[in-house]
Amino acid sequence: MKVYINGKFYDKKEAKISVFDHGLLYGDGVFEGIRSYSRLVFKLKEHIDRLYESAHSIMLEIPMNKEQMSKAVIATLKENKLTNGYIRLVVTRGEGDLGLDPRKCKGHGAVIIIVDKIALYPEKFYKEGLKILTVPTVRNLPEAVNPQIKSLNYLNNILAKIEAVNAGYDEAIMLDSLGYVAECTGDNIFIVKNNHLYTPPQCMGTLRGITRDAVLEISRRDKIQTHEHVITRHEVYISDECFLTGTAAEIVPVVNVDHRVIGTGKPGKVTLNLMRKFKELTKKEGTRY
Ligand code: PXG
């Protein structure tokens, strides 16, 4: 496996950056997770745009333009001869001193592209659906670290993940600071009620997921009414269907939330239809390499 760091490829063992990089010392940097299917990178432009928006918001200058970044992603996939891949794009603040002042970071940070085979979730999750749990750690306040920023500081989500795992669950629902449903640790959440689709708005504590947007788009094309609206736990409990979306997980059904059975307790019709349509979309849409 070859890793891209600042324009060069390194063997996995040799792919290293400084222990003084503020990406490590403070989680000061941004990232993206992208997928390719049969030599098509899914929503590459959207991921690159979001990366640059995250960087702009934290005043991190990326030492290359969007076109060069897209080319670097493609080059890394080709270098590794990957047909179906998971791409992790990381940009750090760079090497500084032990203080947190980013002005001390000299030069440009590291641009890192790691590609790997897709680590698929167990088939069981998709066939039978997930059981998930609401956890105590709330999603970051937008006026503190805005969840729209895909920063290297993911402790907020990791704490929620730890709480879910400690309770014997694979995934957690995180609430926003007002107690509304925000999202899961690395996925957006949707519910279906009377054939209408609901997902929390991006303004609260929710990342505007690229898979989320693709699902909204497919649903609108299918003439399903979609609503970006605040959701309470109660509304999740009484929903007909529930599912999660994310680049890694794609679309995964949820059949039990906080010990309440959702709908029939099996993946629902709308969810299964969206899973099929999403798969079709990934087969035909994307940047070819
Ligand atoms: N919410 C959060 C907090 C995320 O980190 C999503 C939603 C889904 O967004 P996309 O654009 O992927 O549909 C994410 C996704 C992983 C992984 O490897 C994924 C994410 C972050 C960390 C790890 O599963 N981001």
Residue-wise pLDDT for 41-96, tens only, equals: 999 999 999 999 999 999 999 999 999 999 999 999 999 999 999 999 999 999 99
List, chain by chain if needed, residues with CB within 6 Å of any ligand 1 atom.
33, 157, 183, 186-188, 207, 209-212, 245-248
Residue-wise pLDDT for 168-212, tens only, equals: 999 999 999 999 999 999 999 999 999 999 999 988 789 999 999
Give backbone dihedrals phi and psi of 186, rounded to 5 degrees, phi first.
-145, 25
Asked if 235 and 193 touch (Cβ cutoff 8 Å), the reply is yes
Question: Is 150 noted as a catalytic residue in this protein?
Answer: yes
Q: Which atom of ligand 1 is nearest to the CA of 210?
A: 11
| Four-way CATH pick for 2-116: 3.30.470.10, 3.40.50.150, 3.40.50.2300, 1.10.260.40 | 3.30.470.10
Q: Which residue has the tokens 């849409």?
A: 285
CA 20 / ligand 1 centre spacing (Å): 27
Fold identical between 2-116 and 123-282?
no
Q: Which atom of ligand 1 is nearest to the CA of 212?
A: 13
Q: Which of 30, 26, 27 is nearest to 151 (CA)?
A: 30
CATH class as words, domain 123-282: alpha beta
CA 101 / ligand 1 centre spacing (Å): 28
The pick from 137, 188, 211, 278 for probing ligand 1's pocket by mutation, whose C-beta has the most ligand atoms within 8 angstroms, reads 188
Identify the pLDDT of residue 10.
98
Q: Which of 45, 66, 78, 150 is catalytic?
A: 150
Residue-wise pLDDT for 89-108, tens only, equals: 999 999 999 999 999 998 78
Domains of the chain by residue range:
2-116, 123-282
CA 97 / ligand 1 centre spacing (Å): 30
Q: Give the count of beta carbons closer than 10 Å to the beta carbon of residue 254.
A: 28
Mean pLDDT of 237-254: 97
Integer Cα distance of 114 and 36 in angstroms: 13
